[in-house]
Amino acid sequence: MAPTTNCSHHMVNNGGLVEVQQHPQKALPHCAHLLDPAVFRQQGHQVVELIADYYGRMGEYPVHPDVTPGFLRRQLPESAPFHPEPDAFAAAMKDVRDLILPGMTHWQSPRHFAHFPASGSTVGALGEALAAGINSVPFTWAASPAATELETVVVDWLGKALHLPDRLLFCGGGGGTLLGTSCEAILCALVAARDRKLAEVGSRRAGDLVVYCSDQTHFAFRKAAHVAGIPRDNCRALPTCRDDMFALSPAQLQTAMQADVDAGLVPLFLCATVGTTQTTAVDPIRDLCAVAAARGVWVHVDAAYAGSALLCPEFRHVVDGAEAVDSFSMNAHKWLLANTDCCALWVTRPAMLVAALGTEQEYILKDAAAEGHDVVDYKDWSVTLTRRFRALKLWLVLRCYGIEGLRAHIRAHVRMAALFESMVKLDPRFEVVTTRQFALVCFRLRAPKKLGLSGEKKANEINRRLLEEVNAAASGPYMSSANVGGIYMLRCAVGSTLTEERHVRDAWKVVQERATSLLRKMEITYNVNVAASTY
C-alpha cells in the first residue's frame, strides 16, 4: 500500500525556510487511498456480491414497489455526513439492500412486461464497471486515441450486423457514434438538418421550418424539435389509423408538405419510426423517403426498440428503403444486452454534424500525432463535450455473446411474445388489438354486451380497471397500457433478460384470473341494478 499522507497542510516560516506541518487530529480521508488497489478490491467484491445476490433474488421482489412519495427521504438523514462513519462503504451497501432495492421498480425482473426492455447482462454490467474504472473522457482523438478508435470500429461492427446501408458506415463514407439516448440522437440529426437548410434559405427563415412525424412518434421527437428552436406550431404530428397498423401514411405526408409549401413554409425534417412505443408500428421508409426527397427533407429513422431485431434476417424487411435515409438511430441498451445507456447514431454525411455541432479546437486539445490525419473528434458529433467511454461496453458485449448469441436472445423473446399472443387469442373474452410484429402484444378485454356494456368508452373503462387489478398482484406481472385511436389496450412487452416461458404463462394466468373476478363483480352489479329497476 502507498504511504499515508495527510491532505490537510499548514505552511510555517522557520528562519526563511517554509515547512509543511501536518495535523493528523484534523485529518481528512487519505488522498492516496482514493484509488488504492487493495481498497478497491475489497469494496469491489462487496459490490459484485451485492449485484450477484440481487440477480439471484430478483424473483422475490415485487416488480413495482408499493410505496408513496417521500418514503425514502423519511428513512435517510437530512444532510450528508460531515465525517465518514466507521466502515462507511459496508454500511452504505446495507442501505442499498435494505432501503433502496425494496423501493425500486425492478427493470430486470422476469415479470416486468410494462416497458420495452432495459436489457442487462453480466458482460454489459462489467463493461460499465471497466469504463468507469478507467474513467477516460474521449471527447477528441488526442484525449483518448484508443477510446475514439474503438468507437469508430464498434459502430461499424454493429451497423454491419444490423445490415445497415454502407453509406451510413465509416467504411462507406458515413459514420456513427454512441450517445446516451434516442432523444440526443434525434436532436443532433435535427440540428444538422436545420443548419443545412438555413444555409440554403437564409437564417431569417428559421421560424418557417416545419418538421413531420406521426401521432405515434415518441414524444422525444417533439422535445428535440423544441430544443432545436422549431416553433411548436410547426411540428406536424400526422394522424394514423388502425387499418394501416398505425403507420405513417406517405400520402398524408405529401399532402401536409404541399400545404406547408403553399403557405410559404419550409419542410425540414421527417422522423420515421420502426417500432413505435405504443404498438410497434413500422412506418414505410421507402415510400416516405420518396416523398421527402422531392422537398429536400432530411429523413431520420428512430428504431430505438426494434432496431436490435435487425440482427435477425427475418426482420430486415422492416427497413426496406433505408439506403435513402440521412440518419438512423437505435438503442443497444434496450434489447442488445448493453446496459443503460448506449444509443447508436449513424449519419450519411458526418460533415453535416460537425458543421452544426463542432467547436473551434483550443490549443490544449491539439496533438501533434493527429496533425495531417483525418481523425474523429467526437465532441463535434454531439451536444455534449464530456462523454463516456460507451464503446468499451458494447465491444465487450459483441465479442462475448457474438451475433448468433444476440440473435438467440431476441428470438427467444419473440417466441415468448408469440406464445402470449396465442393464449390471448384462445380466450374469446379477449382480443389482440394490433398484429404483433416483434415482442410486444397489445390486447384488451372485450366489453360483455350481455351486461349492457357497449361502445369504446365502456370497453376502455373496463380495461383500465383490469390493468389496475393485474398490477396490484403482489407477485406480478407488471404491465402498461396504450391509448391509440381512442382504443385503450394493455401492453405486454417481453424483453427482460431473465424472463422465461413460465413467467409468460404465469402472467397470462394472472390476467385471466383478474378478468374473471372483474367480470363477476360487474355481473353482480348489473343483476342488482336490473332487479332494482323491475321492483
DSSP symbols for 449-494 = GGGT--SHHHHHHHHHHHHHHHHT-TT--B-EEEEETTEEEEEEE-
pLDDT at 92: 96
pTM given for the model = 0.90
Amino acid identity at 285: I
Q: For residue 495, what are the CA distances in angstroms to 129, 222, 395, 510?
A: 23, 27, 21, 19
- Asked if residues 430 and 424 have their Cβ atoms less than 8 Å apart, the reply is yes
- What pLDDT score does 20 carry? 42
Strand partners, 301: 272, 328
- For the chain, the C-alpha Rg in angstroms (whole number) is 27
Q: Measure the CA dihedral 485/489/495/498, to 10°.
A: 170
Residue 89 CB contacts under 8 Å (≥ 6 apart), including other chains: 43, 46
Measure the CA–CA gap between 508 and 226, rounded to whole angstroms: 41
Alpha-carbon gap, residue 296 to 167, rounded angstroms: 18
pLDDT tens track for 228-258: 999 999 999 999 999 899 999 999 999 999 9
CA–centroid distance for 298 within its chain: 23
Q: Residue 239, preceding bond cis, omega within 30 degrees? A: no
Cell numbers standing for residue 442: 397489445
Q: Provide the Cα torsion 76, 82, 84, 88; round to 10°.
A: 10
Task: Collapse the DSSP code of 253 into the 3-class scheme (helix H, G, I; strand E, B; otherwise coil) and give the result.
Answer: helix
Nearest-10 Cα torsion for 82, 84, 89, 94: -70
Query: pLDDT of 404-415, one tens digit each?
Result: 999 999 999 999
Residue found by looking up cell 454502407 in the block: 166
- Positive or negative torsion for Cα 375, 271, 172, 317: positive
Strands (E), 134-188: 175-179
pLDDT, tens only, 468-523: 999 998 788 999 999 999 999 999 999 999 999 999 999 999 999 999 999 998 88
Distances (CA, A) of 72 to 47, 79, 104, 175, 176: 21, 14, 11, 44, 41
| Helix 501-534 × helix 456-471 angle, to 10° | 130
Longest dimension (CA), the chain: 110
C-alpha cell at 245: 397498423
How much is the pLDDT for 280? 97
> Measuring CA to CA, which residue among 438, 400, 439, 407 is closest to residue 313?
407
Decide: 406 and 354 in contact? Cβ < 8 Å. no
DSSP 2: P
Q: Could you say which DSSP state residue 248 is in?
A: P
Do residues 249 and 238 make contact, with C-beta atoms less than 8 angstroms apart? Answer: yes
Going through 251-400 in order, the beta strands assigned E by DSSP cover: 266-273, 298-302, 327-331, 343-347
> Buried (b) or exposed (e) across 266-301, using 16+ Cβ within 10 A?
bbbbbbbbbbbbbbbbbbbbebbbebbeebebbbbb
Q: What is the pLDDT along the chain (535 residues), one digit of tens a residue?
A: 333 333 444 444 444 444 444 444 445 455 667 889 999 999 999 999 999 999 999 988 999 998 999 999 999 999 999 999 899 999 999 999 999 999 999 999 999 999 999 999 999 999 999 999 999 999 999 899 999 999 999 999 999 999 999 999 999 999 999 999 999 999 999 999 999 999 999 999 999 999 999 999 999 999 999 999 999 999 999 999 998 999 999 999 999 999 999 999 999 999 999 999 999 999 999 999 999 999 999 999 999 999 999 999 999 999 999 999 999 999 999 999 999 999 999 999 999 999 999 987 665 566 655 565 578 999 999 999 999 999 999 999 999 999 999 999 999 999 999 999 999 999 999 999 999 999 999 999 998 876 666 678 889 999 999 999 999 987 889 999 999 999 999 999 999 999 999 999 999 999 999 999 999 988 877 676 666 666 5
Whole-number pLDDT of residue 528: 67
